[in-house]
Chain A
Amino acid sequence: ETGVTQTPRHLVMGMTNKKSLKCEQHLGHNAMYWYKQSAKKPLELMFVYNFKEQTENNSVPSRFSPECPNSSHLFLHLHTLQPEDSALYLCASSRGGAKQSTDTQYFGPGTRLTVL
């Protein structure tokens, strides 16, 4: 138990569906992250939020829309996805702030997404 929870753990959706992934951290952290882990590819950073402000968007397609209403919650809204978007989506959190390069990130268990 890392203090970072993700729901749902598994999700199957069609290409025309709209769904949302939820992440919650109980660690009092100020930075939250979304990562994508595809089979046989390195972990890819998607978005970074620091004190609720988005500080990084790694050229992610607009069909992925993040939302960070407060420092404890992070959402990833999904719409009109493609089968190649099937992957494990991981959320992480860290203390945040200026010293990010030494921050430890705590990961959730991930949501296994399948797009049909």
Chain B
Amino acid sequence: DAKTTQPNSMESNEEEPVHLPCNHSTISGTDYIHWYRQLPSQGPEYVIHGLTSNVNNRMASLAIAEDRKSSTLILHRATLRDAAVYYCILRRSQGGSEKLVFGKGTKLTVNP
């Protein structure tokens, strides 16, 4: 199964942009790149996903490398509420079964 690699932790200051990297060098053509985050004492929540093109939504942007071997989640203006563990996930569906590969996640600390 394809795996992801993320830094264990990152720090940012409030209202500054944050770039969270993820390496997935063994990604296959059918793998979608999903990002979820987990706030303290909560279950994970969806942030964004993409396949080949860069994606934007109200929460974040996802920049995908041309060879798809890496991606970057971009939080344009970090707030204290963005402090969480961010997971980069490859999702593949084969024959109706679900394949999910979680990284260890990056713990983001946001300083006031």
By size class, the interface of chain A is 20 to 34
* A42 lies within 8 A of B105 (CB): yes
Whether B46 and A99, one on each chain, are in contact in the complex, defined by CB atoms closer than 8 angstroms, is no
- Contacts A102-B32, A107-B43; is A33 near B105 (CB within 8 Å)? no
Which residues from chain B contact A68 at a C-beta distance below 8 Å?
none
Q: Assess the A98–B43 pair: CB atoms within 8 A.
A: no
8 Å CB contacts to B: which residues of A11-49? 31, 33, 41-45, 48
Cβ A42 vs Cβ B104 within 8 A: yes
Quick check: is A76 within 8 A (CB to CB) of the other chain? no
B-contacting residues, A40-60, CB 8 Å: 41-45, 48, 50, 55-56
Interface centre among A42, A100, A101, A104 (most CB of B within 10 A): A101
Asked if residues B49 and A102 are in contact (CB atoms below 8 Å), the reply is: yes
Chain A nearest Cβ from B96, distance in angstroms: 6
B68 interface residue (CB < 8 Å to A): no
**Which residues of A pack against B, CB within 8 Å?**
2, 4, 31, 33, 41-45, 48, 50, 55-56, 90, 92, 98-102, 104-110
List 30 A-B pairs, Cβ < 8 Å: A33-B98, A41-B104, A42-B102, A45-B98, A48-B97, A50-B96, A50-B98, A55-B97, A56-B97, A90-B43, A92-B44, A98-B93, A98-B96, A99-B93, A100-B91, A100-B93, A100-B96, A101-B31, A101-B32, A104-B46, A105-B44, A106-B45, A106-B46, A107-B42, A107-B44, A108-B43, A109-B41, A109-B42, A109-B43, A110-B43
**10 more CB-based (< 8 A) A-B contacts, given A98-B96, A109-B41, A110-B43:** A2-B43, A42-B102, A43-B44, A55-B98, A56-B97, A56-B98, A99-B93, A101-B30, A101-B31, A101-B93
